[in-house]
Amino acid sequence: MFSGIIEEMGVVKAVARQPGGVRLALLAKRILDGLEIGESVAVNGACLTVAARQSDAFEADLSPETLQRTTAGQLVVGDGVNLERSLRYNGRVSGHLVSGHVDGVGRIRDRKQEGNALLLTIEIPKELRRYCAGKGSIAVDGVSLTINAVGDDHIAVSVIPHTAKATTLGVKGAGAAVNLEADLMAKYLERLLTGDRADQGGAAPKIDLDYLKRQGLL
């Protein structure tokens, strides 16, 4: 589990394509302190397992699932990446709960300066739109952000100066692909309210006060 607060930007050192997958070597500094083989690191929001480490880098394997569902397969040597170690349960969660399981890939449609913030308009896959709400949370390349506005096929988010400087969002422009993870609580709430109907294609119930009372939620 992660919080979406990026600890540092790393750099892709090597990309080794192997039968059935890819192994990445990532240069880092801060997160290597005490990092052990088998631990989890979020790389652009995708939870990866440390398979090997050196004094200045660590390695992680990308499965076919990760390559299919994230932007990890597009990484090349020299690319910057957002890095975050897994949470300790005795620490603060300054962002929101992020699982590191990417739900889909979006694309930056527009980037412009708005006061001291960077305003990004991001196209999102249709299946993720229902989890997006104004002032709700979303992880973009592993960065915990608040949704400013929701459109028919996009969301708008503001990136403050610190986040722009400390993450890759500060340099990504229009057309860049980004990993998206919808709010974990929204997904669990949907599952709680719809049950198996969501998997079976059945009609979703009308969510009103009476329904919530019947479910014991009020």
Residue 4 CA, distance from chain mean position = 7
Confidence category of residue 89, pLDDT binned at 50, 70, 90: confident
Whole-model pTM? 0.87
Going along the chain from its start, the domains and CATH numbers come out as: 8-85 (2.40.30.20), 104-187 (2.40.30.20)
Rounded distance between C-alpha atoms, residue 123 and residue 139, angstroms: 14
- Burial profile 73-108: b = 16 or more Cβ within 10 angstroms, e = fewer: eebeeebbbbbbbebeeeeeeebbbbebebbbbbbb
Q: What angle do CA 122, 126, 130 make, to 5 degrees?
A: 90
Q: Which helix (H) or strand (E) holds 20?
A: none
Dump pLDDT digits (tens) for 123-156: 999 999 999 999 999 999 999 999 999 999 999 9
List beta partners, residue 83: 8, 43
